[in-house]
Amino acid sequence: LVHGAVKGFIGQAAVFAPHEGTACYRCLFPEETPMQEEDTASAAGILGAHAGIIGCIQALEALKALAGIPSPLRGGLLSADTLRMRFTVIPLHPSPTCKCRNGGEEEPQ
């Protein structure tokens, strides 16, 4: 899964490949959050150019995955602050309680 998200001037991109031992999407975001009215693109003030940067990163990551080229985003989360033009890769680790690690079953809390 090649993930990308934007809100305001903050964006993120990641490649989730739990079959290769990386964290999955639910390891990072265990709770499903309902979308609020203020989360829409028009309310959040998302600029097309910002979304385009994150989209280009997603496209590049998809091509690298298909070509078998290693990437720091496979098992990492790129945080992009395009207002200040700061890009940081944060390593992601699988959650021991996630169902991707437990044969599809969540561990009891």
Query: Can you give the three-state secondary structure of 31-78, one letter per residue?
Result: CCCCCCHHHCHHHHCCCHHHHHHHHHHHHHHHHHHHHCCCCCCECEEE
Asked whether residue 62 is assigned to any structural domain, the reply reads yes
105 pLDDT higher than 90: no
Q: What does the pLDDT average to over 77-100?
A: 94
Write down the pTM of the prediction. Answer: 0.80
Q: Are 54 and 12 in contact (CB under 8 A)?
A: yes
Q: Which residue has the higher pLDDT, 107 or 88?
A: 88
Q: pLDDT for 23-43, tens place per residue? A: 999 998 888 877 666 666 666
pLDDT score of 103 = 62
Residue 15 forms part of a structural domain:
yes
Q: Let me know if residue 97 belongs to a domain.
A: no
Structure confidence at residue 1 as a pLDDT band (50, 70, 90): very high
Domain holding 86, by residue range, is: 2-91
d(CA 99, CA 105): 5
State the total domains in the chain: 1
Whole-number Å distance between alpha carbons of 15 and 73: 5
